[in-house]
Amino acid sequence: REDKDPLILVTNLLDEPAEMIAQLYKSRWEIELFFKWIKQRLKIKKFLGKSENAVKIQLITAIIAYLLVFLFKNSRNQTTPLYLMLVWIKCNLEKPVPVNAFYLDKKPMSPEVPLLLETKT
């Protein structure tokens, strides 16, 4: 950060060198950014379990689901926003839906698509 203004941090670790405090802050900030990404992208508002293993399983499952939809979207050159695809999947998890429902004519999926498909099944 030589080209920027000095960073002022308040700490009770008075015996530790400033470089270590800065590194701890940087590590903590990266963790904060990861949790921000989880909240924004994976829409995890609360954890369903309390154990470390339950939290790991929920995070890994959400990341896998997000990446699968992301890969599908990019592999088909979809113009439908990713969040709409995720909403559509959430609305239709327990319904039989044609695999090509996302990419008919490669047009963007309107917000009404989940409702239209719901009435057809």
- DSSP secondary structure of 59-117: HHHHHHHHHHHHHHHHHTT--S-HHHHHHHHHHTTTS---GGGG-GGGPPPPTTHHHHH
Alpha-carbon span 89 to 62, nearest angstrom: 13
Same domain? 29 vs 78 = no
Same domain? 14 vs 69 = no
Residues 44-82: tens digit of each pLDDT: 888 899 999 999 999 999 888 888 888 877 776 777 787
**Measuring CA to CA, which residue among 65, 121, 72 is closest to residue 92?**
121
Same domain? 34 vs 79 = no
Same domain? 74 vs 34 = no
Question: What's the start-to-end Cα distance of the chain, in Å?
Answer: 58
This prediction has a pTM of 0.53
Instruction: Give the structural domain span for 25.
Output: 1-42
